Chains A and B, each alone.
Chain A
Amino acid sequence: MQPFTIVTGRVAPLDRANVDTDAIIPKQYLKSIKKTGFGPFLFDDWRYLDKGDLDIDPATRRKNPEFVLNGPKHAGSTILIARENFGCGSSREHAVWALSDYGFRAVIAPGFADIFFNNSFKNGFFPLALRADEVDALFKESATSADFQLTIDLPAQTVSTPAGLKFAFEIDPFRKDCLIRGLDEIGLTLQHADAIRAYESRRRDTAPWLFA
């Protein structure tokens, strides 16, 4: 997994509360057999004017010019900001896969739904909680700035803006460590790689038939 240390990136402001996982990635895309490729369908119902499906080429669809991701100002954004209770609704991990696949590294909001929050860390995606007034300040600066970029400094636990705002945030030390080192559950287990190899070599001696 890509380590998350200091990330500076363009910001997409999604000024909505209670963004649910069905809005992040609608259910027709759950038929996919992949974990990748959901980026073009992120926020599908808001992003396009016509209905999409897995077998419809998103390039042929009509984009909603009003939607934040479709304007030039926010193209290539890597940080999303949103309002309260982001990621509520169904438990689909596809929501995080879609955000990551689109290119987002983090979403900043005043609060997150539990399952979405947990799923995010499994995928090296950072759900960063700030106070509601702090998030509001980010929205305001985004509205007035031509090319609004944020810096998330995870080791120092700060978010800073070009205009000089700087907010501190809290994060569980274990999760912080996993993000910084790019460790998901598999990554954590692979920290025991030497123990696994040692077990295998013992086993190769005592039960050689288990190894082709």
Chain B
Amino acid sequence: MAAKTLYDKLWDAHVVNDNGDGSALIYIDRQLLHEVTSPQAFDGLRLAKRQPWRLDANLAVADHNVPTTDRSVGIEDPISRAQVDALDANCDEYGITEFKMNDARQGIVHVIGPEQGATLPGMTVVCGDSHTSTHGAFGALAFGIGTSEVEHALATQTLVLKKSKNMRVTVRGKVAPGITAKDIVLAIIGRIGTAGGNGHTIEFAGEAIADLSMEGRMTVCNMAIEAGARAGLVAVDATTIAYVQNRPFSPKGESLAKAIAWWNTLHSDEAAVFDREVELDAASIQPQVTWGTSPEMVLPVDGRVPNPAREADPVRRNSIERALQYMGVTADQPITEIAIDKVFIGSCTNSRIEDLRAAASVLRGKRIAGNVKLALAVPGSGLVKRQAESEGLDQVFIDAGFEWREPGCSMCLGMNADQLQPGERCASTSNRNFEGRQGAGGRTHLVSPAMAAAAAVAGRFVDIRSL
């Protein structure tokens, strides 16, 4: 039998029907639903008088529009409220399991799936959200879909898909102390660019990836989409199998033994051939900070903002100039001289317990700088929040001058009230630094949780290795 990549194995295990034209009908094991991209899918079902194919394959949660402040007063914005109400009504009508806004298990859809064991190795996982790539950390084939596909998956438990190409990014050796998963993935994006993974599924491999916890692997796969790949993957190993056990949705007893036997096969064969291979040296990765308006505009913290005059290619020169202007930074400015107005620790990239611990360890016994107007800590889920509180991390954040909020997407995209004002500069642990992403005119610098915390204390970016 020909050697297969992990992606090949996952694909082959889910083919219901090969259409013979490069596309296939692929079975979907898990669909995660949230309030923004599902209402018209449910309405489509109703219109066509169809029922969901398999209720137990779905799990729903409202995250994008929910307020991160006191929820007893409900949602103020009528459009946000209508979306959340529609999700509640649809889940109630069809009998789909939903963690409602005031459920302790509510949180960002990509945080709660793994947390609940609803994301498991070997699954196909879809959600109407591009950061569904996160779940690939479990050796699951996970990718974002549009609303008509949400409806298709609800109605048929399948999708018609074209197979993508295989790409492997290997991070060789060990990272230096203080270097996190976020730095690794930003360095990868800096290297291959935001279109680097277009048309491919990226498998992240190498010692530095294997060394990561499951949370770290989720951070890396989360941003596969920023590297241009619809899906990212990490092979299943002992770390994966240890994580997924004893969770509400994960297998128990005899099933578990059977599952583990299969999960242990979920890695690329030794002789498997990839369409594209990229290698990075882990030891060379430094703490990363984005300086521009695309995740590939990223530099080591000891770097300087690029000078367009030194860029020969006119298209790139132009995009550097535009980014400098939007971001309000100057050519050759040292990253460590960029002062910030706000700090956001949260999002599906970095809102898990290890992220909060990393930030808190920098903040312990310190205060945010005078020029920092607002510092938000937004846990990824109610359970993460509860765990953090049991460890006293909430108090560390509050003592440092942070606001300790309710879980949700929050200032990652500012669909709720958490937004940047025009011109405000934010050190953010989220995944997109596009123009206006965190609020019209807002300026986003993507960093790791520890780097965001350090920036909060210093009022500007600092090298956490120097603390």
Contacts and interface: CB of A to CB of B under 8 A. Distances in A.
A203 B157 CA distance: 13
Contacts of B258: 206-209
Interface stretch (B38-46, B349-357, B434-442): B38-46
B25 A192 contact: yes
Interface string A1-42: 100000000000000000000000000000101111000000
Interface of chain B: mostly helix, strand, loop or mixed: helix
B121 to A, nearest CB: 11
B48 A209 contact: no
Interface residues of A, number: 27
Contact of B86 (A1, A31, A33, A186): A33
B56 A211 contact: yes
A189 B79 contact: no
B39 A195 contact: no
- The winner among B16, B39, B123 for most chain A CB atoms within 10 A is B16
Contact of B156 (A1, A35, A196, A203): A196
A199 interface: yes
B82 interface: yes
B43 A34 contact: yes
Given A184-B48, A186-B152, A195 B256 contact: no
Nearest to B253: A209
B157 A209 contact: no
A192 B251 contact: no
B346 interface: no
B27 interface: yes
B47 A35 contact: yes
Interface of chain A: mostly helix, strand, loop or mixed: helix
Interface string A184-212: 11110110110110011001001111111
13 contacts: A33-B39, A35-B40, A36-B43, A185-B160, A186-B152, A189-B160, A192-B158, A200-B27, A207-B122, A208-B251, A209-B251, A209-B256, A210-B123
Given A186-B156, A192-B17, A200-B157, 17 more contacts: A31-B79, A33-B43, A33-B86, A186-B151, A189-B156, A189-B160, A190-B155, A193-B156, A195-B16, A195-B25, A196-B16, A199-B27, A200-B27, A200-B54, A209-B251, A209-B256, A212-B56
Interface of B: 16-17, 25, 27, 29, 39-40, 43-44, 46-48, 50, 53-54, 56, 79, 82-83, 86, 120, 122-123, 148, 151-152, 155-158, 160, 250-251, 255-256, 258-259, 262
